[in-house]
Structure formats: structure tokens, C-alpha cells
């Protein structure tokens, strides 16, 4: 099977639904690479780089239509998103299927009766897009 290697500033695409929230990123969704190796003059992303992602976002829900804010993080890569046979100090990150993400509210969404008092973190997912560097996994 073949996947694309994720490199510095590749784009992340998150689902819009995180549990009971509809989440919209408010800044570019990019990943920063820390691998030593480079492809096309860009550092490669290695396992662990995903844990440094924090994207600012707004959220609403059916009961709280005035947006609140928070951050989206990646909590875990899918098994097929690490190329363990190709290393740059750590396994390379590849496109694969979907990673697990988490939206954590920081300021509450609200409605005319008041703010969202629960503000509980909600799970979601996402994927890597926009890479142009191929690797074959076997």
C-alpha cells in the first residue's frame, strides 16, 4: 500500500463534529515537522509531531448558538499513519486513514439564558491532506 509522507506545513483537515459541538478552526490547520530528514527541502514529520498540534477554533451546539472558543489537538494517530520502516530518528508520519482529535473549550458558547456551563472536551477526528511525497509501505 502507498501513502504520502507528511512534511512541514502540510495541511490538516478536521471533521466539523466533535461530540455535541460543531467546531470551526479560526487559523490555518498545519503541522510542524521536527524530523532530521528532508524531502523537497522540507523536514519530514515524525511520530510525536502530531502531539504538538494545537489549532484555535470556535464552537457552537444546538442549545448554545452563540460561539465559544477553544483548541483542537491530535490525541492519537491511526496505526496506518506511522511508517515504522522509514525513520528520521522516529517513525515517519504518513497520510493513512484518520487520526483521533479532541476539541477542548476555553471560553463558553452561550444562548440568551446564559453560557454553556459544561464546556466538556469532545472527541472528533481528522486527516492529513496536501502532501505530495510518496512512500510505499510494502
Residue 43: strand pairing partners? 38
Q: Which pLDDT value is given to residue 131?
A: 64
pLDDT tens-place string over residues 72-129:
999 999 999 998 777 677 899 999 899 999 999 999 999 999 999 989 999 999 999 8
pLDDT tens-place string over residues 32-47:
999 998 988 999 999 9
Mark residue 19 as left, alpha or beta (left: phi above 0; alpha: psi -120 to 50; beta: remaining): left
pLDDT tens-place string over residues 18-29:
999 999 999 999
pTM surpassing 0.85? yes
Amino acid at each position: 500500500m502507498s501513502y504520502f509522507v507528511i512534511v512541514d506545513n502540510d495541511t490538516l483537515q478536521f471533521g466539523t463534529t466533535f461530540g455535541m459541538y460543531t467546531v470551526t478552526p479560526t487559523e490555518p490547520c498545519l503541522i510542524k515537522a521536527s524530523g532530521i530528514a528532508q524531502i523537497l527541502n522540507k523536514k519530514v514529520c515524525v511520530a510525536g509531531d502530531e502531539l504538538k498540534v494545537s489549532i484555535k477554533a470556535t464552537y457552537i451546539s444546538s442549545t448554545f448558538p452563540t460561539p465559544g472558543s477553544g483548541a483542537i489537538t491530535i490525541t492519537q494517530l491511526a496505526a496506518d499513519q506511522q511508517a515504522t520502516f522509514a525513520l528520521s530518528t522516529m517513525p515517519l508520519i504518513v497520510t493513512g486513514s484518520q487520526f483521533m482529535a479532541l476539541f477542548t473549550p476555553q471560553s463558553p458558547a452561550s444562548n440568551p439564558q446564559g453560557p454553556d456551563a459544561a464546556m466538556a472536551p469532545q472527541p472528533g477526528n481528522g486527516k492529513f491532506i496536501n502532501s505530495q511525497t510518496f512512500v510505499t509501505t510494502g
